[in-house]
């Protein structure tokens, strides 16, 4: 079991056509993983829900919520981990670079 919360850097990064991030949870928690553009607009909620304690991986396929491909460029991956009552336990943002 992980000793602390962690979000690893995306691999590969720069990427095409998809990238993966690792997530470590020392306890079960609610996870929301969102990709946004440079202006802060949500491109896609990649994963949302309850995750058991342990190591997990999340993959983004460079598509929007409407399943449309996104343009090459810089994006942000936001991870927020909360308990069941909305209290934030961990938050981190990583950069993702899509090159087509």
Domain boundaries, the chain: 6-65+72-98
Question: Candidates 3.40.50.1820, 3.40.710.10, 2.60.40.4070, 2.40.10.480; correct CATH number of 6-65+72-98?
Answer: 2.60.40.4070
In degrees, rounded to 5, the angle at the alpha carbon of residue 74 between the alpha carbons of residues 69 and 79 is 90
- pLDDT at res. 84: 82
Q: CA distances (Å), 3 to each of 6, 27, 33, 92, in order?
A: 9, 9, 21, 17
Q: How far apart are CA 9 and CA 7, in angstroms?
A: 7
Residue-wise pLDDT tens digits, 47-98:
999 999 999 999 999 999 999 999 999 999 999 999 988 899 999 999 999 9
In this predicted structure, the answer to whether residue 36 has a pLDDT above a threshold of 90 is: yes
The whole-model pTM stands at 0.92
Which of 77, 22, 84 has its CA nearest to residue 54?
22
Q: How far apart are CA 13 and CA 85, in angstroms?
A: 34
């Amino acid at each position: 079991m992980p000793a602390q919360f962690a979000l690893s850097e995306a691999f590969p990064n720069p990427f095409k056509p998809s990238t993966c991030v690792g997530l470590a949870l020392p306890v079960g928690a609610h996870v929301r993983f969102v990709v946004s553009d440079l202006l802060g607009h949500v491109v896609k909620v990649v994963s949302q829900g309850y995750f058991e304690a342990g190591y997990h991986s999340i993959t983004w396929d460079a598509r929007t919520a409407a399943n449309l491909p996104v343009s090459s460029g810089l994006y942000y991956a936001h991870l927020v981990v909360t308990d069941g009552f909305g209290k934030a336990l961990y938050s981190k943002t990583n950069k993702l670079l899509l090159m087509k």
